[in-house]
């Protein structure tokens, strides 16, 4: 049954659509049949009336994907998708299925899904059934909300992921020499002036790594930055000033904060803005699209977005490559990083900030854009070598 169009009735004066939907009081279009017993139909109504236009496009896509997985689980297991047939047993079985085989491995075989991701699926399903409960006719959910009696999976104790001081030093050493690793090598390039691969942007990658380690920005926050958020965007002034900053950095939960830039990030930004970004920005202009993003992908990449903005996944690639270069250069096993992730840089920054600020909670909240006690406590946990030194002589 096709999903009907959302209601177009005007909102009461002074009320915001996001506020109304969050309270689950949006009325259903009058032409809907309230007795319709279809999980897929109710899911589409929920997405149309309470998610699309209220949540970001990225979050909306994730919620839709999670609910689609539950719908497939019900239809595949029961042979139909009647909403009234969804019980606590079915929800619990779906949770356990995701926990055991919710992912696909590289070879296509089933693989476990992380407990936090499973719980995220359950949270989105619970929001759906809370909305349905508020709007469904009496008797449709005869046994009540089936998600309320299904507990989330226990989460493992969060582990500190901050790099040790020696590791940070060698990472920065690699980043300082990053142009060397991008140079074309081989017999036909010997005796010629050093030249980088066409897609390589070593100056951009350098500033991104320094920004992650020096500000604690999340990867989505990095790719979401626009040039006009940088004060100042003039390379010469960046090299001289000590108060350069990024304003209006958009974080989770529609938060916004100001981020100050350290010496390494300022110098690297100045080099990037002066030498690399202008060429990639000009390519966007030729294509008829303004390059407003601070960090741009190489103009030579065929699959480049029209505006040149990087994707969050590209930050993983950049940071992961730095980690691989680091481990190839470092012989000591206890200094190797394994897989380096953007969030490792965030943890490293947060621990250093906690130490420098005397564990000032307000400063951690302000600079990290995170007020959750669980994570703020995690950020103050030291790397293992520092933790071990605390008790060495006790």
- The single residue of 62, 343, 361, 366 carrying the catalytic annotation is 343
pTM above the 0.75 mark? no
Q: What is the pLDDT of residue 333?
A: 86
Condensed to tens digits (0 to 9), the pLDDT of residues 38-68 reads 999 999 999 999 999 998 888 999 999 999 9
- The single residue of 189, 195, 252, 263 carrying the catalytic annotation is 252
DSSP SS3 for 49: helix
Q: What fold is seen in the domain 165-390?
A: hpI Integrase; Chain A (1.10.443)
pLDDT of 241 strictly over 80: yes
305 labelled catalytic: no
Q: What is the pLDDT of residue 26?
A: 47
**Rounded distance, CA 142 to CA 84, Å?**
7
User: What residue spans define the domains of the chain?
Assistant: 31-135, 165-390
Q: Give the DSSP letter of residue 51.
A: I
Q: What is the pLDDT of residue 19?
A: 43
- The single residue of 204, 346, 347, 367 carrying the catalytic annotation is 346
The DSSP line for 178-195 is HHHHHB--SGGGTTS---
Angle ∠(251,254,257) on CA atoms, nearest 5: 50
- The single residue of 66, 95, 218, 309 carrying the catalytic annotation is 218
Q: What is the pLDDT of residue 18?
A: 46
């Amino acid at each position: 049954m096709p999903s009907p169009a959302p209601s177009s009735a005007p909102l009461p004066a002074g009320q915001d659509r996001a506020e109304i939907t969050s309270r689950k009081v949006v009325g259903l279009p009058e032409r809907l049949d309230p007795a319709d017993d279809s999980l897929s139909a109710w899911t589409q109504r929920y997405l149309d009336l309470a998610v699309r236009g209220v949540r970001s496009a990225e979050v909306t896509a994730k919620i839709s994907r999670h609910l689609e997985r539950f719908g497939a689980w019900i239809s595949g297991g029961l042979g139909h998708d009647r909403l009234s047939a969804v019980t606590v047993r079915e929800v619990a079985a779906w949770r356990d299925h995701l926990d055991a085989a919710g992912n696909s491995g590289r070879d296509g075989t089933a693989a476990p899904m992380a407990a936090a991701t499973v719980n995220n699926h359950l949270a989105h399903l619970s929001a759906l059934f809370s909305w349905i409960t508020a709007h469904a006719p009496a008797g449709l959910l005869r046994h009540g909300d089936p998600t309320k009696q299904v507990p989330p999976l226990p989460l493992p104790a969060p582990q500190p992921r901050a790099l040790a001081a020696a590791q940070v030093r060698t990472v920065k050493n690699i980043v300082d020499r990053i142009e060397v690793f991008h140079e074309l090598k081989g017999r036909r390039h010997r005796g010629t002036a050093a030249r980088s691969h066409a897609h390589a942007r070593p100056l951009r990658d350098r500033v991104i790594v320094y920004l992650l380690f020096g500000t604690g920005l999340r990867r989505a926050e990095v790719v979401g930055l626009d040039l006009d958020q940088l004060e100042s965007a003039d390379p010469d002034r960046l090299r001289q000033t000590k108060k350069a900053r990024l304003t209006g950095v958009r974080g989770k939960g529609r938060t916004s904060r100001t981020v100050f830039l350290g010496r390494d990030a300022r110098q690297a930004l100045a080099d990037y803005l002066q030498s690399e970004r202008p060429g990639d920005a000009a390519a966007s202009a030729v294509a008829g699209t303004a390059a407003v993003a601070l960090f741009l992908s190489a103009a030579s990449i065929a699959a480049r977005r029209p505006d040149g903005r990087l994707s969050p996944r590209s930050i993983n690639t950049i940071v992961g490559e730095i980690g691989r270069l680091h481990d190839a250069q470092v012989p000591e096993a206890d200094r190797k990083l394994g897989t380096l992730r953007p969030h490792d840089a965030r943890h490293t920054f947060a621990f250093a900030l906690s130490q420098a600020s005397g564990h000032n909670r307000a400063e951690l909240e302000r600079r990290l854009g995170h007020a959750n006690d669980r994570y703020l406590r995690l950020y103050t946990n030291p790397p293992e070598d520092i933790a071990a030194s605390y008790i060495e002589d006790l």
